Amino acid sequence: YAQADIRTLIVKGYAASRMYPKPDHRSVGDIDIYLYGKGEEGDRLMKAQGIEIRQNEDKHSTFTFDNAPVENHATFVNVVEHPSLRELEECLEQEARAARFDESIGAYIPTAFADALFLSHHLAGHFVYGGARLKQLLDWAMLTTKYGKEIDWNRVMGIADRAGYGRLLRCLNGIVVTHLGVPEGIFPKWERDRQLECRILSEMLHPERQT
């Protein structure tokens, strides 16, 4: 991609691992990339190497490179199916332009504000479909512990509310404060629903026990 003058932003799991004390301790399922509007060009490069490209969603294509599954995101979220996410998508695209280059991996890493938006929305989506797990909750704890003081939480909360997952986001904040040692003072004051927090945490840790 770099040789073809395509800038690469790494998002979600692998980018989140960079916030861990030992990045290798964070398991990574696939690699998510954003090519700044050159997604189709990036896919053509892969096809030229004999790699099969699959367009399985409006927002991204997928392929396998060196045995690693890759998702090439045309957009960060699926605004075709969910128009209410347009503001979120616009914010993430704007923040992508402010991403920092990580020389150790030769690609860009999201800003803390972008991670606060994208990781929380991604976790919310997984939760709805029963796929939210401890590792995503740990990602949230790592992000908020390391960068929480520099994130505009009122803006994050406002965007999350308008996108429809603000209530879940507040519960996530309560969970990482109570159970994972994140300082409560990082977040603005908010009304906690501790009963709902317990239900959400239980479902994430023991999905098979829920009815």
Is 55 a residue whose pLDDT tops 90?
Answer: no
User: Tens digits of per-residue pLDDT, 105-159?
Assistant: 899 999 999 999 999 999 998 898 878 889 999 999 999 999 999 999 999 999 9
Helix ranges, the chain (H): 13-17, 39-48, 86-96, 112-128, 134-147, 153-163, 166-179, 194-205
Is 210 a residue whose pLDDT tops 90?
Answer: no
Nearest to 190 by CA among 207, 180, 175: 175
Amino acid at 168: L
**Comparison of pLDDT for 13 and 153, the residue scoring more:** 153
pTM recorded for the entire structure? 0.90
Query: What's the average model confidence in pLDDT over 36-65?
Result: 90
Report d(CA 96, CA 102) in Å as an integer.
14
DSSP state of 97: T
Which pLDDT does position 150 carry in this prediction? Answer: 95
Burial of 33 per CB tally in 10 Å (0-12, 13-18, 19+) = buried
SS3 call for 35: coil
Report d(CA 60, CA 56) in Å as an integer.
7
User: Tens digits of per-residue pLDDT, 164-198?
Assistant: 999 999 999 999 999 999 999 999 999 999 999 99
**Comparison of pLDDT for 104 and 143, the residue scoring more:** 143
